[in-house]
Amino acid sequence: MPRSTLQLVKHCARLGYVASGTVDRTTTARAADETCPVCATADIICGKWTILVIRDLAAGRTRFCELERSLAGISPRTLSLRLRALEEEGMVERHTFPEVPPRVEYSLTEKGKALLPLIEDMRSYGKEWLNACSGSSAVAAPVAA
């Protein structure tokens, strides 16, 4: 696993810890986070379900209901919020088709696709170090770069 990926994972853990308010140095840590590219990336992708949404969009255009099925346990509201946040960051595009009933599909932009090597590194790390196997088809799907 490349060092940058490991650093991102560590920063995700630290951000969760700092955000919980259990650290006295919160303002110092947040000031450092503003200039750290790893922290800036972690702020976007370390939200619950976010990295999994990106992983599932790696295969191409996907409808909301397909994402909801592939992410067992996510509520429609949470999925909608994650997609909207990723769209605002320029990582996901929303494609609306003028049909009845309306059809909406989501896909990764180039900015979103740039995260796919990170996800592949996380997959490799999980297989090698955490004994995590790819049980579901969504997890097992190869990530195209």
Residue type for 113, please? K
**Is 1.10.10.10 the CATH number for 47-131?**
yes
Give the ranges where 64-109 is alpha helix by DSSP (H).
64-70, 76-88
- Residue 20 predicted with pLDDT over 50: no
d(CA 15, CA 143) in angstroms, rounded, equals 27
Reported as a pLDDT band with limits 50, 70 and 90, residue 9 is low
Residue 24 has pLDDT above 70, yes or no: no
Give the side-chain half-sphere CA count within 13 A for 124.
Answer: 11
* 2 confidence band (pLDDT: 50, 70, 90): low
What DSSP letter does each residue of 36-52 carry, written as one string?
-HHHHHHHHH-STTHHH
Intervals of CATH 1.10.10.10 along the chain: 47-131
pLDDT tens-place string over residues 41-62: 888 888 889 999 999 999 999 9
Query: 105 φ, ψ to 5°?
Result: -125, 150
Indicate the average pLDDT of the chain.
Answer: 80
| Residue range 87-120, pLDDT digits in tens | 999 999 999 999 998 899 999 999 999 999 999 9
What pLDDT does 133 receive?
Answer: 74
User: Which one-letter DSSP state was computed for residue 125?
Assistant: H
Distance between CA atoms of residues 13 and 23, nearest Å: 13
